[in-house]
Amino acid sequence: MADDALSTATKTGATAGAPVGLSDPKQWVELHGDYLFRYALIRVRNSTVAEDLVQETLLAAFQAKDRFSGESSERGWLTGILRHKILDHFRQLKREQTLSPAELLPPELEDRFDEVGVWKHEPALGPQDWGEDAPTLIQRQEFMAALKACLERLPARSADAFVLREMEGEESSRIQELLGVSASNFWVLLHRARMQLRLCLERNWLKL
Amino acid sequence: MPLSLFQRAKYRMMRLMARVMPSCQDITALISQGMDTVLPLRNRLSIRLHVAMCSLCRRYERQLRLLREGARHYADAEQNQVGPCLSPEAKERLRAVLRREER
């Protein structure tokens, strides 16, 4: 596992910088600590866990420093190791196969459709117009703050599925295996995550 | 705002269609699934046909794509900007761990 993780880590590493070997490991905390911490934090959404993952990453990197190939920057290399630690973390979280009713579509989302499944028109409960600026607005800090807050309101497994799929860009089959959920439950988790995030952003970010 | 005659007629038409074809509720689930896997041709055609007629589901689909783009951007940008940092104590702990390892 470790070998595999480290060799892929070098491949997936970031782009920046000419490879010039590693800096003194004593400086890693200063140079990359906050970056790695934030990387982990937005994905696992728990600062204690994020901190532990950074520690595991630095340790693993220290033990493997002789195998650093210089194909990526030092930071890219460390980030690649951290990514594997994050996936391992999700794998260890594996929960029950069945979804609790709370993880399915809650009434608040189901009720936006009428009895034949069409978006309700009176009052209008379908998606609002986000405006022409939406594609630029999603690049701003306000969007990120809102997305973070909205993710926190999701049930954990829905949020995990969303993070792995939309932030990490993992393959669906890989995520199903990582989270230990069936394919059909996986589609429900993501559908729910997207529907709720969409609505939450509409209300709290665009204030529509 | 009261619905216009046109909106009312369109709503009635969507309700009629929902009885014989996948409804908005079905289509939103399919749109989501279609972002994570290659759906069978039959499903892809249902989605295309539906969004050609239904402006709300068209909007829904567009917004899910924006959400994806925004999430990627967040995952990318957040780490490079100021944000939550390791506490000084945590940094000290990490340094101690590395020092121990070096011996």
Domains annotated for chain A, with CATH where assigned, are 2-93 (1.10.1740.10), 101-204 (1.10.10.10)
Q: Out of B3, B78, B101, name the one closest to residue A144 (CB).
A: B78
Domain of residue B47, residue span: 5-102
Over 80: is that where the pLDDT of B62 sits?
yes
Please answer yes or no on whether A130 and B66 come within 8 Å at the CB atom: yes
User: What pLDDT is stored for residue A11 in this prediction?
Assistant: 41
Residue ranges of A 29-68 with Cβ closer than 8 A to chain B: 29-30, 33-35, 37-39, 41-43, 47, 51, 54-55, 58-59, 62-63
Q: Report yes or no: A23 at the B interface, CB cutoff 8 Å.
A: no
Q: Within chain A, which residues score under 70 in pLDDT?
A: 1-20, 95-98
Chain B: give the shortest CA distance to residue A149, in Å: 13
Of B1 and A71, the one with more pLDDT: A71
Nearest to A163 by CA among A49, A17, A28, A63: A49
Q: Return residues 74-103 of A near B (CB < 8 Å).
A: none
CA-to-CA dists, residue A175 to A34, A105, A197, angstroms = 27, 20, 19
- pLDDT bracket for residue B79 (50, 70, 90): low
CA separation, residue B94 to residues A38, A60, A106 (Å): 15, 13, 42
Tell me the one-letter amino acid at A32: H
Q: Shortest Cα distance from A90 to chain B (angstroms)?
A: 17
Instruction: Count up the domains in chain B and report the number.
Output: 1
Q: Average of pLDDT values for B32-59?
A: 96
Q: Tokens for A177, please give them.
A: 């295996």
Check residues A92 and B34 and name the one with the higher pLDDT. B34
**Do A119 and B85 lie within an 8 Å CB cutoff?**
no
pLDDT at residue number A18: 37
- Of residues B79 and B61, more confidently modeled: B61
- The pLDDT, as a whole number, for residue A95 is 67
